[in-house]
Structure 1
Amino acid sequence: MIEVQGLHKRYGNFTAVSDLSFAVRQGEVLGLVGPNGAGKTSTLRCLAGIIPASSGTVRIAGHDLAADPIAAKRALAFFSDEPRLFDYLTARQHLNFVARIYGVANHEAIAQPLLEEFEIADKADQLPGELSRGMKQKLAIACGLLHSPQVMFFDEPLTGLDPLGIRRMKNSIIKRARAGATIVLSSHLLHLLEEVCTHVLILKRGEKIADGTLAEVSARFSNGDANVNLEEIFLRATGGSDI
């Protein structure tokens, strides 16, 4: 569902991502990890078509992102750490607006369960200025899920959520992966990734250090330690770099 070949992203003379290739299949959840400045956000934004790649190919749900960007973007949703909302639209009006953009028919039947899933149904007629930081994030995610995307990119989406909200978001991600979605999740909360992800991709200075299933990457860096966790894998793979 996500196929990346030879992805490069340069900003002037600075290379943020270098020759990155990987694939994520239907139902898989890939944890994207790396030290600060490793190129995680640049990678996700290139994959979502928010910024152009300098070179390389990206295919989303069978669509070439460069050759057929509209079809590719209709199949995906991108969730950032900062909710982007309109000041003068209520929560319900945000969902109505997104439904019109994506041509979602009978969207009320989808919108109401999303409001309830993310526990903002009682805030449906409130403006963003009346919502907490966590509720804004939940609304942004509900909007992104309205068109039932096949591919989802999460870039630190849990900012502002309380512990219970994080737990429920984890369950929501797992549920959608089990339903067949293809998911890439970037987060500094390595214990969360360990609970949610089936695969992991480790970046350092824009280059791939390792990727594969959690078991495969763990075996590579475990040094025979059967109890090694994702945090220890990360430290060994990156030479102890700060996440």
Structure 2
Amino acid sequence: MITVTNFTKRYNDFTAVRDLSFTVAPGQILGLVGPNGAGKTTTLRTLCGIIPPSSGQLSIATHDIVKAPIAAKRSLGYIPDDPRLFDTMTVWEHLAFTAAAYRVSDFERSAEALLEAFDLTNKRDTLAHNLSRGMRQKVAIACAFLHDPTVILFDEPLTGLDPQGIRNIQQAIRERARAGAAIIISSHLLSLVEALCTHLLVLNLGECRRFGTMSEVLGDVGHTDGNSSLEAAYFTMTKDDAQGEA
């Protein structure tokens, strides 16, 4: 369960996110969309405890990220848009390191299954600095999944992946949701969000423009031309903001 209540983040005189509230229940996948600078990454980075909120409450699996950060992070898997690996460690050493950090005993079976699921078995002993961008992304996701988190945050999860990798990651995300994880996907790939997500949160200028189930949001916007795709709805929802900034 993810709960965000009246969350605001300020940087001096600039408000990056203003009075944001939403929830993601177990089994739900929330698509977080908006233009560059809308506040998406700030929201994710605050949820995972990298930066503190200016005000409001954010909780991961009922644990307040400020008051109980260790308990919250033990329930959390976070995949940033540019995952940083240790260049001189192998793929398997990354998994072993992650298992030790989260105190995952007998991790080998789960690690082997993740390597197979993400087509990394033949890269097991490869150093991170010899991996492609897409391979590094898959290693980061495998590490994030290893401790079986109940909350998973993705910031542009498909960066650098080939078509087979994209299919594998989409399948893994669906499987995690079916198993009861609460998931947020921040992405500019609207087709991915529409295909995977059960719910949608549209951010712009640090404020919530729409929040609800995918069908509710698409239905609320409406189109006289009969086009109910997320792409068409997105441009309708952000059009006024863009005109206001011009």
The equivalent of 1:163 in structure 2 is 163
The equivalent of 2:26 in structure 1 is 26
The equivalent of 1:213 in structure 2 is 213
The equivalent of 2:197 in structure 1 is 197
- Output the CA distance in 2 between the equivalents of 1:168 and 1:100: 26
| Secondary structure of the corresponding residue to residue 210 of structure 1 | strand
The equivalent of 1:231 in structure 2 is 231
One-letter amino acid matched to 1:197 = C
Does the alignment pair 1:130 with 2:151?
no
| Secondary structure of the corresponding residue to residue 203 of structure 2 | strand
CA spacing shift, 1:225–1:183, aligned 2, 3 Å: farther
C-alpha displacement at 1:81, in angstroms? 1.4
C-alpha displacement at 1:170, in angstroms? 1.0
One-letter amino acid matched to 1:87 = D
One-letter amino acid matched to 2:114 = L
C-alpha displacement at 1:187, in angstroms? 0.6
| Secondary structure of the corresponding residue to residue 106 of structure 1 | coil
The equivalent of 2:183 in structure 1 is 183
Count how many residue pairs are aligned between Structure 1 and Structure 2.
242
The equivalent of 2:49 in structure 1 is 49
- Output the CA distance in 1 between the equivalents of 2:28 and 2:225: 26
Displaced runs of 4 or more, over 6 A = none
C-alpha displacement at 1:131, in angstroms? 1.1
CA displacement 1:75-95 (0-9 Å, x = unmatched):
001101112111111100111
C-alpha displacement at 1:164, in angstroms? 2.1
The equivalent of 1:100 in structure 2 is 100
One-letter amino acid matched to 2:42 = S
| Secondary structure of the corresponding residue to residue 165 of structure 2 | helix
One-letter amino acid matched to 1:80 = P
One-letter amino acid matched to 2:222 = S
C-alpha displacement at 1:169, in angstroms? 1.0
The equivalent of 1:69 in structure 2 is 69
- Output the CA distance in 2 between the equivalents of 1:172 and 1:23: 22
Q: TM-score, normalised by structure 2?
A: 0.95
- Output the CA distance in 2 between the equivalents of 1:185 and 1:62: 20
Residue pairs, 1:70-89, within 5 angstroms: 70-89=70-89
| Secondary structure of the corresponding residue to residue 10 of structure 1 | strand
For the Cα contact (< 8 Å) 2:110–2:146, is it kept in 1? yes
Q: TM-score, normalised by structure 1?
A: 0.97
Which 5+ residue runs of structure 1 have no aligned equivalent? none
- Output the CA distance in 2 between the equivalents of 1:126 and 1:182: 32
CA displacement 1:20-46 (0-9 Å, x = unmatched):
000000000000000111000001101
The equivalent of 2:142 in structure 1 is 142
One-letter amino acid matched to 1:187 = S
- Output the CA distance in 2 between the equivalents of 1:109 and 1:171: 20
Which 5+ residue runs of structure 2 have no aligned equivalent? none
| Secondary structure of the corresponding residue to residue 89 of structure 1 | coil
C-alpha displacement at 1:59, in angstroms? 1.1
- Output the CA distance in 1 between the equivalents of 2:22 and 2:144: 24
| Secondary structure of the corresponding residue to residue 200 of structure 1 | strand
Q: How much identity, in percent, do the aligned residues show?
A: 54
- Output the CA distance in 2 between the equivalents of 1:56 and 1:10: 12
C-alpha displacement at 1:143, in angstroms? 0.6
